[in-house]
Each structure stands twice: as C-alpha cells, then as structure tokens.
Structure 1
C-alpha cells in the first residue's frame, strides 16, 4: 500500500492568534513578537483530506509580502521578520478583549517582529508548497485566498525616572547570637524598582556590575566602612552597603547581607528579600540597603580581605536594564552617593 502524497491546499487562512483579528500593532524594537496562526487544509492526490506532519508543514510554509509576494526574512535582524519561537516579549500592545482564532485544517504558528528602522505597515500573506510541487498563495493575486494579516509598527520608547516607582520598606532579618551579645545595630531596608506606567509592567531586569566572585558577598553593589580607630587598617565600627537580588523568579527568601565574617569576624546575617512579593500585578526588582555596626566604639576590625574587596569603600557601579512586556527598555544606575543614609536610582 502506497502512502498518500500531499498534492493540494483547499483552505488557507492566517489570523492573529491572541485576538482572532486580522490587524495588529507591534512595537518596532526587534523584541516584541506577535503570534500568527495559519490554518491549512491539505488534500492528497485522491482529493482526500490528509494530515501532514506539522514540522514538515511548517517547513513548506512561508510568510510573504501580500502584494509583491516577496518573502519575509526568517530569523532576521532588520525590517519585517518572522520565526518559529516565541519570547518573553510576545504580547499584543493595548490588547482589549480577544477571541479564539478559528479556521479549517491543521494549525501552525509563527511569530512576527520588526526592527527599530521599520516605519511602514505591512500586509502579510502566505505561500505553501506541496509535496507534488504545486504552489498555493494567500496573496493579492491569488485565485482562492485573499485575506492578509496587517501589522502597523508602533514607535518604541525608553523608560525614564518619571516612569518608575522606587519605594522602600523595613526588611525583616535574622542575626546570630553573637550580634546580640555585642550590642549590634542592624538596620536593613528593602527598595523596590517597578513600573508605574498604566497597563505596563517590567518582566525582565538585567543587572550589571556587582560582586559575584565572593560567594558570601554575592550581589553586593557597594560598601563603605567607617573607621572609629586611628587609621584605615583596623577598628572599623560601621558597615553600610547595598545588594541587588536579580535572580528569577523574584520570590521571598532569606539572603546573606550585611557585615559578615570578612568585615567583622561574625556569623552571617540574613535579610528577607521580596517581603512584599513580586506578582504579575506588581513586577519589581528588590535591592537591600544595610546599616550595621556596634555600639561599643572600635570593637571590631576589618581584618581579612576576600577577592574583590579593598579599602574603606568600594562601588561596583551597578546598573539595571529594565524591559517591559513588549521589549521597551530603560537603564537605571544605582545612586550610592548617600550610602550612609539611603539608596537611590538615577536614569
């Protein structure tokens, strides 16, 4: 018995997956992607409906410019492009209520995106080549399939200081008994960076420039040691520092923060990060500012140095690139100019 051969396409339709519509806006930033579902009814040489393996069907299907039939760039980096993979920025800008796409036949999905130099809208059609060498088109001059999907590029924007919230709250913590025995002061504060634009949220935080070589001080952004002794070789009594907690998922956890063994020969102090949580309704990045020291002047010494630490103050110059759900971004630098009292950000 011979296998049936894919010969014809008798139904061909493309539709925006999440809206069920034919029209859509997209941010022209190279990151925002929109899902497009293609419905294809395939028939064999006996004119019977058949199932084509989806991987093979996708290989035989291409997106084209609806009028000229010019192929869109596959996995490209300029102009209008498409791919088979979604990313974390796959979302329709300003999507209201949508409906489930409907059509006849098998379904395959592609993702459309465009670069920042894209200024004009596009009508996208489809080309399908069967195993018998026949071509079927969803295009302007097609005999059977005529409805394209239309994309309008939307200008991307950069986030500035007025677009974000920078709130703070006292953090809960745990200290070894030795801290309590020596009248230790410990004051951790969590700061949260989040988006305050209506209908937008930050979904990714790309943090740069912080301590990662010394495990006990992982994520440290800056520290300052204040001496109460005769010089800067010993008798440090106060530690001020900051940390960034960018590991995902952003969940409530206890992390090592504060003046631990390398600074004061004490056990690890633990701070609870993401006390307020981080949910789909309030995506945020947590930083922790810590003040710690002893009320007995000059009681503890800075008597060991780990890799990456030197002197009474070290600032790694931490900054964060934020991305919203559509791939729009902005850079924010940690402002440590008043590290003895608080923590700030600047754009």
Structure 2
C-alpha cells in the first residue's frame, strides 16, 4: 500500500493570487491563504491519497518556523472555518480562491485573522508526510522557499458621523381604513456611509419580544384628547432581513397592536429599500383613534408611557464595529440615533 512520502511541489499564495495583502487587526477579518502540495509516494510517483489536515498541513512564521495560533484568540491566528460575514480582503472585496489543479496537486485553504496590536507577518507553509518527513517554505528552506505577507490595519470604530440615518414614509396594511384609526408611519434606515464597504450583520438589545410586539421598544400615549394619540417605535432585528420578514403582500412588521378594547392592529411595509441585509430598519408610528382613546393594558403595555433603551452593534464586511443607541427617552417626534 502506497503512502505519502515526499513532495515535488509546495507553495503558498493568497486568495487574491498575490503574495501580499492588508488585513484589519480586529480578530474577525479573514484573509484566505492557500497551500498547494503535489505529494509523492515512496517511489516518487504522484500520490493521490487523502492528506490529513490540519495535522499534516499548517501555516507557520516565515522566519522562525513557529506555527500560527490554531483557532486561537491572541496574536496571529488561523482556522479552516470560513466566517460567513467577515471573509473579505481590504481593498479587494472577497476574491475567488485559486482553482484546483488536475495534475495531482492538492490545495488546502486556511483563514487568517489578526488581533489588535500585531505587527506585519510573513507566513510560510509547513507539511509533514506520512513517513514523518517535513517540508516547508520558510526562510532558507531551499527549493520551496516562499511566503505571503499580511499587513495589519488598525481596526475601525464606526461612529454616528460614519453612517447614514435617513427616513421615508411607509404604507401600512390597513392605512386606507380611517373609520376608527388614522395611522402614519415612517421607516428609518441605519447603513454605513461608504461606497466600498457596508454593514453585514447587526445585534440589537432592548426591545419587547412578546408575540405580536417583537421589536417594539417605545410607546407614548398622550393624555390630551382622552388618550387618542399613540406614538410608537419599532426595530426589526431578525436576520437575514429579507427572508426573516418576508410577506407575500410586503406588510411584515406588526405595529399598533391593541386587540383588547380597541380591536385594532396593523402591519407596516419594512425593509423596502434595495440590499436589505446592508441596513437595519426601524419604524416610527403616529396613530390616532376616536371614542375613549387607546386602551391600556394591552400586551406588554401597562402604562401610558413605556420606553426601552435600545442598543445596536453593527459590523462591517471586514469585522469592524459601530455601537449606537436610540437617543432620548421619548418618541413623540420621530427616532434619533446617537453614539453609544
């Protein structure tokens, strides 16, 4: 039975096809590094069997030969698990990985991350055959010598000045029925103000999660006119946005939910701009009713004025973060964004 005994070709390359790249030093941005091996058996013929990795295939420091941290949390780290959000090359978006060859060459792709404070890193390939022989591309290794160079960039922290916070009116499912309730609604959109970068995922805390009230975070029912004016604010955090809030008629965000006493609820059209995964959508509502006004309690509403303190974390395509909050403690005049 043949076994892996040698190597006739060994190289290391970046996914961009080059030998150098930038990477954000935030512990999340991934740049892929591919090791190409043409293995041979004990008779120096091409070996087509499986190679165990990462046991037998690793990334090491080009100068010292020290292995990078495998799935670590300090310094330079690498893994064989691709992150669905942050695998993008700064300045080059997300490049295609090298194609597999048909001459017996086997390729192994690792994903490298850099922690804050690291210095430039030259990276080499290291392999160990089934017979125990080691081949590498480190400095002074001879025929196979080669490296890729990663240049760390200081991690970004996005602030309010870096984002776009805009709003526009949005229709509601029962908005044309004004016999009992008149509703006006506006969607607000949080996105990154950049032509070559965008937010890819969000985390939100500080809102009701009760059935029928998910995303509801602020309510103000004014005492004047027998509590006829309701102001409410909502955030829609489930991901992926487009499919999580899919509705055949487009009305997916439940709002103004007063089933007890008022026998009323409505739905707003949300995530109505292109590329819904790149922004976080909020809805602000002003609804007026007649008769004895809005009824309390209803769902989680037990007082005329309720307010959570929503906080938002947004990550861009390179794993850099922005931390925000909803400003103030009232929503009778729209929704305002602020830095956290």
Q: Could you tell me the TM-score, scaled by structure 2's length? A: 0.90
Q: CA deviation at 1:100?
A: 6.3
- How far the C-alpha of 1:257 sits from its partner, in A, is 3.4
**2:107, 2:5 → 1: CA distance?**
18
Deviation per CA, 1:271-314: give whole Å up to 9, x if none. 1101223257xx211100011012x3x523424343x4331111
User: Residues 262 and 224 (structure 1 numbering): CA distance in 2 closer, same or farther, change over 3 Å?
Assistant: farther
Please say if 1:285 is aligned against 2:280: yes
Match of 1:143 in 2: 142
Report what 1:201 is aligned to.
198
1:259 CA displacement:
2.2
Distance in 2 of aligned mates of 1:97 and 1:185: 47
For residues 57-102 of structure 1, the C-alpha deviation after alignment (integer angstroms, 9 at most, x for no partner) is: 4431111111111111100101011000111101110128968647
Counterparts of 2:96 and 2:184 in 1: how far apart (Å)? 51
Q: Does 1:239 align with 2:214?
A: no
Take 1:289 and 1:91, find their aligned partners in 2: how far apart are those partners?
34
Q: 1:44 Cα deviation (Å)? A: 0.5
Cα distance, 1:127 vs structure 2: 1.2
Map of 1:299 onto structure 2: 292
> How many residue pairs end up in the alignment?
329
Local SS of the residue matching 2:264: coil
Q: How far off is 1:10 after superposition?
A: 1.3
Shift of 1:332: 1.0
Return the alpha-carbon distance in structure 1 between the equivalents of residues 47 and 19 of structure 2: 27
Q: How far apart are the structure 2 equivalents of 1:68 and 1:303? A: 70
Q: Which runs of 5+ in 2 are unaligned?
A: none
Separation (CA, whole Å) in 2 of partners of 1:287 and 1:266: 24
Q: Distance in 1 between matches of 2:221 and 2:96?
A: 59
Aligned counterparts of 1:151 and 1:222: Cα–Cα separation in 2: 46
After superposition, the C-alpha distances for 1:5-62 in whole angstroms (9 at most, x for unaligned) are 1100111111111x100101100000001011110010001111012325x1443111
Say if 2:227 and 2:294, in contact at 8 Å, map to a contact too. Answer: yes
After superposition, the CA RMSD in angstroms is 2.2
User: Match of 1:232?
Assistant: none
> What TM-score does the superposition give when structure 1 sets the normalisation length?
0.88
Structure 1 counterpart of 2:110: 110
SS at match of 1:59: coil
Q: Deviations over 1:168-187 (max 9, x none)?
A: 1110111289x5332x2100
The SS at the match of 2:303 is coil
Distance 1:257 1:99, change over 3 A: closer
User: 4+ runs of 1 displaced by more than 4 Å?
Assistant: 96-100
Q: Distance in 2 between matches of 1:92 and 1:262?
A: 50
Distance 2:333 2:75 in 1: 49
| Secondary structure in 2 matching 1:260 | strand
Matched, 1:187 2:180: no
